[in-house]
Chain A
Amino acid sequence: AIRMTQSPPSLSASSGDRVTITCRANQSISRYLAWYQQKPGKAPKLLISAASTLQSGLPSRFSGSGSGTDFTLTITSLQSEDFATYSCQQYYSYPPTFGQGTRVEIK
């Protein structure tokens, strides 16, 4: 199975900050990479697929980039509703695998 490693495991930030989360695969996954946002007690929500395609209706402050093994989720101008856990997932091959998550906390 492909291993996905996220960094950092957690971060503290203030509203208005720019936040960057990294996800690395242990083999090339082309652009078969998704990002999810999860708030406490809620199901994950798909933010980005195909490494950089923002899901319809979501704010443009979320963006994704990367290909191959290294990927980035960027949140420009962090808003209060963005404090959550973010996870990456590869869907290049079965079994699909997730990173361990990055918790974005209020500083």
Chain B
Amino acid sequence: QVHLVESGGGVVQPGRSRRLSCAASRFSFSSYGMHWVRQAPGKGLEWLAVISSGGSKQYYADSVKGRFTISRDNPKNTLFLQMNSLSADDTALYYCVATQEDYLGSESYAASFESWGQGTLVTVSA
């Protein structure tokens, strides 16, 4: 059964950077597409980024493109989200999500999200 544990959240000042991690276990991490999804307080879900199983392909939401970078370390079963130039609008609970459907490119179908971590809270505040 897929197990995902996010970490790295906390309070960060506007304009600064933060790196989130997601430790994966109990499944074949290197065979899964991986995503980040966030939820601002009291708001709906917002998909942010996807990375292919091998790490060679990524795709981002417009809201984070150029500021956030998704990456993975398959030997260490870990997913990352590097977040730069943070603003108050980035305050949210950040979830990592595993999908059996791999990311094949921006013209492919996306995926439904069957396996979620518990989330890590990022608060951007001075």
Interface positions of A (Cβ within 8 A of B): 1, 32, 34, 36, 42-46, 49-50, 55, 87, 89-101
Chain B binding surface, main DSSP class: loop
Please indicate the chain A residues that have their CB under 8 angstroms from the CB of B113 in the complex.
34, 36, 44, 46, 89
Instruction: Give the CA-CA distance A94 to B107 in the complex, in Å.
Output: 7
**Distance in Å: Cβ of A78 to nearest Cβ of chain B:** 22
- A46, A87, A95, A97: the one contacting B59 at CB < 8 Å is A95
B45 touches A87 (CB 8 A): yes
Q: Residue B110 at the A interface, CB < 8 A?
A: yes
0/1 string, B80-110, CB within 8 A of A gives 1: 0000000000000001000000000010111
Q: List 21 A-B contacts (CB under 8 A).
A: A32-B109, A34-B112, A36-B113, A43-B119, A44-B116, A46-B112, A50-B112, A55-B114, A87-B44, A87-B45, A91-B110, A91-B111, A94-B59, A94-B108, A95-B47, A95-B110, A97-B47, A98-B44, A98-B46, A100-B43, A100-B44
**B43, B106, B110: which has the most chain A beta carbons within 10 Å?**
B110
**Distance in Å: Cβ of B97 to nearest Cβ of chain A:** 9
Please indicate the chain A residues that have their CB under 8 angstroms from the CB of B50 in the complex.
94
A49 touches B112 (CB 8 A): yes
Q: Residue B125 at the A interface, CB < 8 A?
A: no
Q: Residue B11 at the A interface, CB < 8 A?
A: no
- A43, A92, A95: the one contacting B116 at CB < 8 Å is A43
Please indicate the chain A residues that have their CB under 8 angstroms from the CB of B45 in the complex.
36, 44, 87, 89, 98, 101
- Chain B residues 10 to 58 lying within 8 A of chain A, measured CB to CB, are 43-47, 50
